């Protein structure tokens, strides 16, 4: 799923992190250049600088190809404009918007292009579940909130794990394989699965670093 998130504050950044970890194509828009610089190393997320209320910027950021737009700025007026542009001008299929001031909640409806209006006090888990219309990201969010890292690694022809079964791989302590994606399809990671070049693994760990996990497979 292609997702565009407007607003790289705490909320927008957390949503971007969770959705990208769930293998979605995520673009994050932010008008503050200093904040954009801080986010330069955000893994698997494209960060674009500029005002998300600008139609030209939205188009440049790829809104025409997006399945979901999330307006998560701290200003209700901006979230309404972004939602309206996404739905009416660019025809985005699903638009979610954060309501910062409860007195403005009545504005956040389909007339303004909003499919899902989420009050600021709504738990982040619920926001993501409602915005995406799916539940597969919720487990990842619960893991991240519990201090568990979600890490990806890919098997190549040079990987020492290629040709071996999962049961033969010695994983770092506190690490489990959540799924093996082969030919675009997730498979159950039982010990007998033999790893092949092109396989992508999603692992969760509460102790190991990303480097330690990659080392176990590469």
Parallel, antiparallel or unpaired: strands 68-71 and 94-99: parallel
Q: Which two tokens stand for residue 101?
A: 């001031």
Nearest residue to 92 via CA among 109, 115, 124, 119: 115
Q: Please report which helix (H) or strand (E) contains residue 216, including its range.
A: helix 210-217
Domains of the chain: 2-135 (3.40.50.720), 148-217 (3.30.70.1450)
With 0-12 / 13-18 / 19 or more C-beta atoms within 10 angstroms meaning exposed / middle / buried, residue 17 is buried
% of residues, the chain, pLDDT over 90: 46
What is the β-pairing status of strands 185-187 and 175-182?
A: antiparallel
Closest CA relative to residue 132, chosen from 11, 43, 8, 1: 1
In DSSP terms, 186 is beta-bridged to 181
Strand partners, 165: 194
Q: What is the pLDDT along the chain (218 residues), one digit of tens a residue?
A: 899 999 998 788 878 877 887 678 999 999 998 888 888 767 788 999 999 999 999 999 999 999 999 999 999 999 999 999 999 999 999 999 999 999 999 999 999 999 989 887 776 656 666 676 654 555 555 555 555 667 778 899 999 999 999 989 998 887 878 778 787 666 777 888 899 998 888 787 777 787 888 888 98
Give the residue from 140, 132, 134, 135 showing the smallest Cα distance to 202: 140
Spatial contact of 73 and 50, defined as CB atoms under 8 Å apart? no
């Amino acid at each position: 799923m292609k997702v565009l998130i407007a607003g790289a504050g705490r909320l927008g950044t957390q949503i971007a992190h969770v959705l990208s970890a769930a293998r979605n194509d995520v673009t994050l828009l932010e008008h503050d250049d200093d904040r954009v610089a801080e986010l330069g190393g955000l893994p698997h997320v494209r960060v674009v600088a500029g005002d998300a209320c600008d139609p030209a910027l939205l188009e440049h950021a790829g809104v025409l190809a997006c399945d979901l737009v999330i307006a998560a700025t701290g200003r209700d007026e901006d979230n309404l404009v972004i939602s309206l542009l996404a739905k009416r001008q660019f025809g985005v299929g699903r638009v979610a918007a954060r309501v910062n001031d409860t007195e403005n909640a009545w504005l956040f409806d389909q007339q303004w292009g909003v499919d899902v209006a989420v009050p600021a006090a709504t738990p982040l888990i619920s926001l993501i579940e409602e915005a995406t219309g799916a539940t597969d990201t919720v487990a990842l969010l619960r893991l991240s909130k519990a201090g568990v890292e979600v890490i990806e690694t890919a098997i190549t022809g040079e990987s020492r794990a290629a040709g071996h079964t999962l049961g033969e791989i010695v994983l770092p302590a506190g690490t489990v394989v959540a799924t093996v994606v082969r030919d675009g399809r997730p498979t159950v990671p039982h010990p007998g699965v033999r790893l092949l070049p092109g396989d992508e693994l999603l692992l969760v760990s509460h102790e190991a670093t990303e480097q330690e996990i990659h080392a176990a497979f590469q």
